[in-house]
With several copies, the nearest count.
Chain A
Amino acid sequence: MAPEAGGARVIGRLSDDPIRVEELLRAGSSADGAVTVFVGRVRDHNHGRPVIRLHYEAYGEMAERELAAILDETAGRWTLSHLEAVHRTGTLELGELSVAIVVAAPHRATAYEASRHVIEEIKRRLPIWKREEYADGETEWVGPAPSEA
């Protein structure tokens, strides 16, 4: 991971511990007029089926490598000063945060576009799988979608 890609501070990591957005929000400096935060949360349903719990399994070494690559590409494409992304692993209860992305940038268009790009690439490329547990006791694995490249 390049901590200063394109002049931006870049941080990407997987975490077995809960994501604390309050800390992420202190990102950037007073040179940044705009900050976007995206958080993904465990929903209580998927395609109409009640979900009770999720478990995330990661190919950790590759996921960290891909996440660093996504963030570096993003910091090279947009002018921003802080870019941070955290993806959970392990077991998550309903309402827990599965992913968080923080972008601080001088301008708001950048902050929105860079944030959206990062989450789309994460969903597409990160080798992380979630096992959804449904209320009826069944489970299903959901993975990345690299074929949508």
Chain B
Amino acid sequence: MTVTILLFAVYRELANTASLDLELPAEATVRDAMDRLRSLPGLGCLPAEPTVAVNREYSSLERDLRPGDEIALIPAVAGG
């Protein structure tokens, strides 16, 4: 399935993009998406437990993803 990742602030600058699409196996969780993101250029620094929102709502990392979900990384407090 395909999900959309939104990047803001320091993550947007590190990845040099505000959004990207990610191809994931069925039954992937938010945590699986984060693990994949860490392999992308500039995002190796992603913390083990990033704060995320799915479809504009704060979400746990264990949430099961569905095709078309919009996953936003919410960098907290201070970074960069």
Interface residues of A (CB under 8 A from B): 57, 59, 61-62, 65, 125, 127, 129, 131, 139-147
State which residues 8-29 of B face A: CB under 8 Å.
8-10, 12-13
Given A146-B58, A147-B76; A141-B53 close (CB under 8 Å): no
Q: Does A140 contact B56, Cβ atoms closer than 8 Å?
A: no
Across the A-B interface, the 6 shortest Cβ-Cβ residue pairs: A129-B9, A62-B56, A141-B80, A141-B10, A141-B9, A143-B75
| Chain B, interface SS category | mixed
By a CB distance below 8 angstroms, the chain A residues around B8 are 57, 59, 127, 129
Q: Does B56 contact A65, Cβ atoms closer than 8 Å?
A: yes
B13 to chain A, nearest CB (A): 8
- Chain B 41-80, CB-CB to A under 8 Å as 1, else 0, gives 0000000000101001110000000000000101111111
Interface residues of B (CB under 8 A from A): 6, 8-10, 12-13, 51, 53, 56-58, 72, 74-80
Q: Does A146 contact B72, Cβ atoms closer than 8 Å?
A: no
Beyond A59-B74, A62-B53, A140-B79, 18 additional pairs, beta carbon < 8 A: A57-B8, A57-B12, A59-B6, A59-B56, A59-B72, A62-B56, A62-B57, A65-B57, A129-B8, A141-B13, A141-B80, A142-B77, A142-B78, A143-B76, A143-B79, A145-B77, A147-B51, A147-B76
